[in-house]
Every structure is written in structure tokens, then in C-alpha cells.
Chain A
């Protein structure tokens, strides 16, 4: 079955630390990949997306993600986090159709 896994449920970091959030999916075909962020009390916003081309994609707010096809992964990274990055982060995948399949989310807490 097609699925998306985010193994880190809750990550706590100090400001200026580097961030990497894992996302893996199970499917051998063509996929489109997304990272969404949900700040406290707000709706989901798109951070970045990948559908073809350069596997390293840049998003908003200094985030980037790398698609590694051989590992079925699309990990989210940021070299230096800020307190304002405290939020919940969702990886989502389109498996060849229109609906998004989401991971369970990773709650990121940044300590000032």
C-alpha cells in the first residue's frame, strides 16, 4: 500500500541548530512530493514541492529538501533554525493521482 512515514514525532532544538526531518514513502512509481508547515493556530502552508528536475529543492524561509529516489526519501533541512520555526511539519506525497497522502507530522519545538 502507498504510505508516507515521518519517524520523528517530536523534535526539540535550540536556536541556530541545524534541522533535518525525515520523510519516506513506499511506492516505486512517479511521485510528487511536498512539505507543508502548520504554525500554531494557523492553516497548512506549502514550504516546498518537488515534481521533476533538480532533486534539491529550495523553499520558503530558508528550508530545502532533497529527493533521493533510491531511498524513497524526501528529507527537509534547514541549516540554522529560529524560534519562529516552531510548528508542525507534514510531508505529503501524490502517488500518481490528485489526492495527497500525508505523514503523521513532526512537531518541532525551538528553544530560544
Chain B
């Protein structure tokens, strides 16, 4: 069974600081996703990482994927209050039955609070 672990689960940081959220997973996969959820809202896609060494950047967020280490990171640079949200990573695995269906397993999320 695929396990996806995020840490930390809670992160309180000051504006202007840098920090990294980690996402470890237990089964071989080359597809990893990052989502953001604002309080009381739905989820929105941030990044799709599809190969080993993939790096994507959008504004103050940068995500990377190391499939050999089964690790993805979401790095926050010079945090601002608007980045306060819950961040989820999700890993896709094609079941043993094959085909094009795939299961998506989410981490428990990291609640990020950026303080002035």
C-alpha cells in the first residue's frame, strides 16, 4: 500500500523567511502533484512533476522531484502572508492490474501560516 508522508504537518513562519516542505512516498512512482487549499475552499493545482529531477517554479514556490529517493520538496522563498494555506502532495500509482487507470494518494497536508 502506498504511503505518502508530508512534514512538517504544521509550519508557522515569518514573512521574508525561506522554508521547505517535504513529501516522502513509499512506492515507485514518476508522477507527483502539489496542491494548495485555502481555508474553506477547494484545492487548486500548483505543480505536476513527471520525471526524476523535474523542477518547477511559480513565484515564490519551487517544487522538485527525486524519484530515486522517493522525495519531493516544495521550497518557499521569502514567504508572504498570501502563501498561508494548506499544501498537499499527491502521488499517482498505476495498479498491478495495469491499464490506464491510476490511484492517487494524498499526503495529510502541511498547514502553513505566514506571520507578518
Is this pair of chains taken from one and the same complex?
no
Q: Which residues of B contact A (CB under 8 A)?
A: none
Q: Which residues of A contact B (CB under 8 A)?
A: none
